[in-house]
Amino acid sequence: MTPEERLCSPRWKWVHSLWMLPGVVGVGLATWMGFLFIGVRAKRRLWVVFGVAYFVAGCAVIAISSAFPTGTKEEPVPENAWSGWVTLGLWVLGIAHTILTNKAWLKARAHLDATSPAVTTVQEDTAPGAGDSGPVALASEPASADLNSASVESLLAAGLHRDEADAVVAARAQEPFAQASAVVTRAVLQPHRFAELRGRLVADVEPPDAAPRPASGRRLDL
């Protein structure tokens, strides 16, 4: 999958947004865990610095809160109320910060997955009763189709549904597709459908015919 295909997948985004969980349920004292994780994973020094800063702030809040007496309802301790408001502020700040950072993290994570070595497999079928020395037939791949010139039957063979193929034909009649991904930007295909058919769809745009070049040089009359 390409980074764009991963970012179009709700399930993929949900799984890789779980780093926000410590900041949401940790009452402001565990936000550092999420930032430290994404900073190390994406090799972003700024996120690591944020993680260290949230860790120091959380330790400071705990130390200050434990330094004051608990107090009672009849004799409250003002410092305890102050430390509670600081903890609440740190919690809200951490939640807002994780939400704003998550978009950049998902983009970085998608490109990290794209740089991983891809492993491809080829399915092989042998005729019944054939030995090891017999001919091996490779599994046929789905046909590819040119969005700008393929017939409806060719588009269906590439994996499009009937309504999708009709929409492609109608859209290219108005304007040819400059690239295959234009079927998504022009609302012809849904992103998840394009992700499934990405390797089978191409968009070849024929360049306009070149105008005849005038002959150069002088004409000699003999």
Q: What pLDDT is attached to residue 86?
A: 82
Residue 41 identity (one-letter amino acid): R
Token reading at 133: 């020395």
Q: What values do phi and psi take at 204, rounded to 5?
A: -95, 120
Looking at residues 97-104, what average pLDDT do you find? Answer: 92
Q: What is the pTM of this model?
A: 0.47
Q: Which residues of 108-131 are buried (b: 16+ CB within 10 A; e: fewer)?
A: bbbeeeeeeeeeeeeeeeeeeeee
Q: What pLDDT is attached to residue 222?
A: 47
Per the prediction, the chain carries an average pLDDT of 76
Residue 100: how many other CB atoms lie within 10 Å: 9
Band (pLDDT 50/70/90 cuts) for residue 185 is confident
Q: What pLDDT is attached to residue 19?
A: 92
3-state secondary structure 14-74: HHCCHHHHHHHHCCCCCHHHHHHHHHHHHCCHHHHHHHHHHHHHHHHHHHHHHHCCCCCCC
Residue 155: how many other CB atoms lie within 10 Å: 25
Instruction: Render pLDDT for 43-81 as a digit per residue (tens, 0 to 9).
Output: 889 999 999 999 999 898 888 777 766 655 556 556 566
Token reading at 64: 């200050």
pLDDT over 50 (residue 126): no
Q: What pLDDT is attached to residue 71?
A: 55
Token reading at 55: 């860790």
Q: What pLDDT is attached to residue 55?
A: 93
With CA atoms as reference, report the closest residue to 79 among 92, 94, 93, 66.
66
